[in-house]
Amino acid sequence: MKKLLAVILTLAMVLALCACGGSQAPAATQAPAEAPAAESDLAYVQDKGTLIVGITDFAPMDFKNDAGEWIGFDADMARAFAESLGVAVEFIEIDWDNKILELNSKSIDAVWNGMTLTDEVLNSMGCSKPYCNNAQVVVVKADVADQYQTVDSLSSLAFAVEAGSAGEAAVQELGLDYTAVSTQADALMNVAAGTADACVIDLLMAGAMIGEGTSYEQLTYTVSLTEEKYGVGFRSGSDLVDAFNAFYADAFAAGTVKDIATVYGVQESIVAE
């Protein structure tokens, strides 16, 4: 009798296990889990209420006035863009060579500082449409400028260039001797002090910073090494790219871009939308 009871109980357990197993759908037919929604960079900025912009000291795009406030064509445009998003703007002076790291770590939300749209930048960031034309030019002391009017004449010079800049890329490509410094302003100071023979900086900066009526009257620019365009950099895949492009189109149509550009003397360089 006990043996019969044990057999019955065993059969009951087997049937129960079979029933439980039969109620589960085969793994191959289970619905795949939904991918998480992509994070909105625009919503992230609006939620925290601040657009943090990475810059360097680079007149006429970003520089401080007598009150210590950041002004310039890029700075003023960044304020207008932030206002269009309903947020405040904050400027952080960064090491230009670390701009991609700063962006990806969310220390900043945008790189907006006369940034040349190089292959590295285009492959590492979400970039806006070009908004300004520019070039990389060689700056030397005016009293020797007649000796350095061609690319071939530059081979004997010791250059100072901003680390991670289009100017550094230009001298590297030509195989010229150079020292990397923190900013383009530092590069200019090296030439003025005689610790470098020449530097390579943005044409727009050269127009604002050197020659008659400036702090560097003894300097001038000669050879143009590249032609290029500026853009604003956001994180890869960021929806702030589309937000900026729409803002720029509206601001250009309203005349705001030209008005701000005229204040800083760069109106001839802006890209029409």
- Same fold for the domain at 42-133+229-263 and the one at 134-228? yes
pLDDT tens, residue by residue, 137-174: 999 999 999 999 999 999 999 999 999 999 999 999 99
Q: What is the third-level CATH fold of 42-133+229-263?
A: D-Maltodextrin-Binding Protein; domain 2 (3.40.190)
Class of domain 134-228: alpha beta
Closest CA to 114 of 248, 260, 230: 230
Intra-chain end-to-end CA distance of the chain, in Å: 95
The rounded distance, in Å, linking the Cα atoms of 14 and 185 is 82
Strand pairing partners for 71?
63
E strand intervals along the chain: 50-55, 63-64, 70-71, 88-93, 110-116, 126-127, 132-141, 158-162, 177-181, 198-202, 219-234
* 3-class secondary-structure state, position 194: coil
The DSSP H or E segment spanning 128 is: none
pTM, 2 dp: 0.77
Strands 50-55 and 88-93: parallel
Domain boundaries, the chain: 42-133+229-263, 134-228
* 3-class secondary-structure state, position 38: coil
Q: In the structure encoding, which two tokens stand for residue 151, read together?
A: 């690319």
**pLDDT surpassing 50 at residue 24:** no
pLDDT tens, residue by residue, 242-271: 999 999 999 999 999 999 999 999 998 999
